[in-house]
A = this chain, B = another copy of it.
Amino acid sequence: MPTTPDSGPGGPSRRRASGGRRRPGPRRRLSLELIVDTAIELVEARGLSALSMRSLAERLGTAPGTLYTYVANRSALEALILDAVVARDGLPHELPGTWLEKLETWARKDWVTFREKPWVMELRRANPDFGPASVIWLDSALRVFDGTELPAQVKLDMIDALDAYVLGAATVDVQSNGRAPGPSPELSGKLDEAQLKVPTLFQALSTGATPFSASGFEFGLHCLLAGFRAIAEETRDAPPQAP
């Protein structure tokens, strides 16, 4: 189904069957781009929870139902928003350094983005669809490995693994934000009880160690990348079955 660029991909009425002539009906007062941009403004200002079809419509000066002429439903709108912010600042393959260094700074950049804009993370988690920008992003991620002898599947697996780790770590981090970074208040409240019931945890915390530490993300990132490097060296030393 060749959806025309004029009316949105999710819009119920497909105007201009690639012919070009406008079909009867009043002119559209909005556009997909305007809707998505306004939605992003709204989310950026007041968080994802402040985005509703009603609030968005109000900001646009229309009735809520009007939006459904441009977008199939809220889920489709979120997909558009996500695709609009994917790869907003640079693509992975444009980064400097070796392929490992590119992976590293890309992961770190995503980590920063997720922490600064949790709504991007929430959208990514809730929306499985791969929009055009996401496809281009994946292509760019693969280009990071240009000049490497790794099998395509390994490249994809590395991308996925790194992506999963960053997503998971950011999720946990955003969750535990605002909580005490020191010994958890739950435990410090009943110290003697903790010493009895969870002695190992108690002892670990009393050394000054803390779960969800600031160094936590870097630690896991380092480990994962070390594993990547090892795999790459193995592959180089023992090339594919058919030499």
Contact = CB atoms under 8 A, between A and B. Distances in A.
Q: How many identical subunits does the complex contain? A: 2
A135 B198 contact: yes
Contact of A226 (B127, B158, B171, B230): B230
Interface of A: 2, 125, 127-128, 130, 135-136, 138-139, 142-143, 146, 151-169, 171-172, 175-176, 179, 184, 186-187, 193, 197-205, 207-213, 215-216, 219-220, 222-228, 230-231
A233 to B, nearest CB: 11
Nearest to A145: B200
A138 B175 CA distance: 17
A222 B226 CA distance: 11
A199 B230 CA distance: 28
Nearest to A172: B164
Given A142-B204, A156-B204, A216-B161, A151 B209 contact: yes
A228 B219 CA distance: 10
A100 to B, nearest CB: 12
B163 A168 contact: yes
A228 B224 contact: no
A174 B222 CA distance: 26
A153 B211 CA distance: 8
A137 to B, nearest CB: 10
B143 A212 contact: no
8 contacts: A130-B184, A139-B200, A142-B204, A160-B172, A163-B168, A168-B169, A223-B224, A226-B230
Contacts of A231: 223, 226
B219 A157 contact: yes
B223 A161 contact: yes
